[in-house]
Amino acid sequence: MNYGVIFYVLGWIMKSEAVFLMFPFVVGLIYREDTAWSYLITAALCLVLGVLMSLKSPKKGGLYLKEGYFVVALGWIIMSLLGAIPFYITGEIPAYIDALFETISGFTTTGASILNDVEKLSHASLFWRSFLHLLGGMGVFVFLSGLLPMLGGNSVNLMKAESTGPSVDKLVPRIKDTVKILYSIYLGMGTLEVIILLICGMNLFESLTLTFGTIGTGGFGLLNSSIGSYSPAVQWTIGIFMLLSGMNYALYFLLLKRRFKQAFAMEEIRLYLVITAVSVALIVVNLGHLYPTMGETIRQTFFQVSSLITSTGYATTDFDRWPEFSRTILIVVMIIGACAGSTGGGIKMSRLLILFKAARKQIQIFIHPRAVKKIKMDNNVVDHDAVRATNAYISIFFAVMFSSVLIVSMDGHDFTTNFTAVLATLNNMGPGFNMVGPTCNYSFFSGISKIVLIFDMLAGRLELFPMLLLITPSSWRRYL
């Protein structure tokens, strides 16, 4: 294993975090808050550690896929450990394990919180926890892969280890240009949402922080009521941008390049929109006259489906009180999740398509044993390795989920609470049902359960394998 490259990249991660911590520091100065200095102190610590670890430039190359998994998993853990320090030293979150839970929830764009009263936080801390969504949504390593020339073509392994979905391809030949395109779309979409929210009457601080949670599909709000206290115009804006953020960013690239035929032929996008529309329609019918008008019923339903299918986690109503049929639909869309290549969580639409097509192929082979059938997506043949990787991911996903539920159940809470808490953290969702519903939080869990849920958040955001590789002893012994 090329430890020189690993330490160098981790050093850059810490230096990057030092820069990121200056944003809440400036916000704290603007609002004249003493908490601002905790962010400056933490930034100085990150800078010193980062400089020490990246003093020596490694030899070019040597960061292969397995090492990319290692460095990404370690990087996310280190970023979270350091990023939790300001919450802890200010006393706003007195227990470090809780501060770490909140930070990892922000970085992984989960949105699950241990805070009973978020409105007591300083502006600096409110900004930092939402800013974490912006950083974690597209991925810090995706950003760094365009800045570290010594990695050469191997920098794509950082993207593969951090990005969501079955596979990650470069949109253009050069990795730097791919990163520029992705971040241009990401930040461009965010800028547009900020402008619209300002037009809707929000102030700049609210517009920025809620946009971070929307395009990063994170879900940390500024109020205890999440988005429920805002106007219908604001709710529609956030709901639509959540839905857009759950789409594969390759779609926007194709649209910008005016390759409309190829863009509209993406099966994953079509399935995503169909599932969303059908879910909204079924829930609207099931809710009946729960809300005063049909318009409000549609708005509340669309917002919650959009929020949960994209793993954002914002809420405008207590959907835990909806009828059982509607709650079941919400759990289904929570499991499925958004598109590959988006900032959303879940199993992903592309994997669902591959599973359906593989099942159909197997049935056809039973009927016609000599027939030669190929699985295709967007008119491209899906090779056997992709199908095998999808099957492996689904198997591991449910193994991790049920193992986590088993451990968390030792706290003695009801099954719905335990199951949806694990599902919501593993899918980077945020709210679940019962004791972890949209009006509740995760503060009541024991320390052991919080550690399990922290692992689930990291594993879900990094698509399982980097975290599993990190905790597998045999993968370490090979290099010791």
Q: Report residue 253's pLDDT band, with 50, 70 and 90 as the boundaries.
A: confident
The pLDDT assigned to 430 comes to 87
pLDDT at 3 over 60: yes
Span 149-157, mean pLDDT? 53
pLDDT at 398 over 70: yes
Q: Which two tokens stand for residue 392?
A: 């492996």
φ, ψ of residue 377 to 5 degrees: the values are -135, 125
201 Rama class: left (phi>0) / alpha (psi -120 to 50) / beta: left
- For 32-71, the pLDDT digits (tens) are 999 999 999 999 999 999 999 888 776 655 566 677 778 8
Task: Give CA–CA dist 401/422, Å, rounded.
Answer: 6
The pLDDT assigned to 275 comes to 96
The pLDDT assigned to 475 comes to 65
pLDDT at 154 over 60: no
- For 266-297, the pLDDT digits (tens) are 899 999 999 999 999 999 999 988 999 999 99
The pLDDT assigned to 405 comes to 96
Q: Which two tokens stand for residue 301?
A: 């339903």
CB 236 within 8 A of CB 199: no
pTM of the model as a whole: 0.91
Angle at 413 between CA 412 and CA 416, to 5 degrees: 140
The pLDDT assigned to 35 comes to 93
Per the model's pLDDT, the better-predicted residue between 407 and 392 turns out to be 407
The pLDDT assigned to 151 comes to 53
Task: Give CA–CA dist 184/182, Å, rounded.
Answer: 5
Angle at 61 between CA 56 and CA 63, to 5 degrees: 95
Worst-scoring range by mean pLDDT, 87-101, 248-262, 398-412?
A: 248-262
Quick count: other Cβ atoms within 10 Å of Cβ 363? Answer: 11
Residue at 124: amino acid letter: A
Residue at 470: amino acid letter: L
Quick count: other Cβ atoms within 10 Å of Cβ 414? Answer: 11
**Rounded mean pLDDT of the chain?**
87
Span 387-404, mean pLDDT? 91
Q: Report residue 343's pLDDT band, with 50, 70 and 90 as the boundaries.
A: confident
Per the model's pLDDT, the better-predicted residue between 347 and 384 turns out to be 347
- For 295-337, the pLDDT digits (tens) are 999 999 999 999 999 999 999 999 999 999 999 999 999 999 9
